[in-house]
Structure 1
């Protein structure tokens, strides 16, 4: 899973082979994780992130 960006405690990455998924990235911080669709930008799911962090 190639890492695109590390910023403070956040890591943004993607999996190179997810054939039946629209373009998206994963974001992790400690034990929190979320998936963000890229076109259009939308939150797919979130586990452990606060609403404030997601904004």
Structure 2
């Protein structure tokens, strides 16, 4: 489960057994976790983040999308 990005209380990471899915990133803070598809930064799963916080996370991920996609392809070698 490599961490690819940290900011504030957030940690963005991949689960190493999910390489067969489209590129995505998980974000965790405290007991909350969400999964975001990288192609459009839509929310695949949200477990605990309030809506306003999801919006702030998406805004930050948008600024890092190219980096995150590069990290995905490097990690999963695809």
| Structure having the larger proportion of residues in strand | 1
Aligned residues: 55
Q: Unpaired runs of 5+ in structure 1?
A: none
Q: Which runs of 4+ in 1 moved over 4 A?
A: none
User: Please, what TM-score do these two structures have when normalized by structure 2?
Assistant: 0.64
What RMSD, in angstroms, separates the aligned Cα atoms of the two structures? 1.2
2:40 alignment counterpart: 40
Q: Unpaired runs of 5+ in structure 2?
A: 56-78
Mapped partners of 1:25, 1:19: distance in 2: 11
How far 1:40 sits from its partner (Å)? 2.4
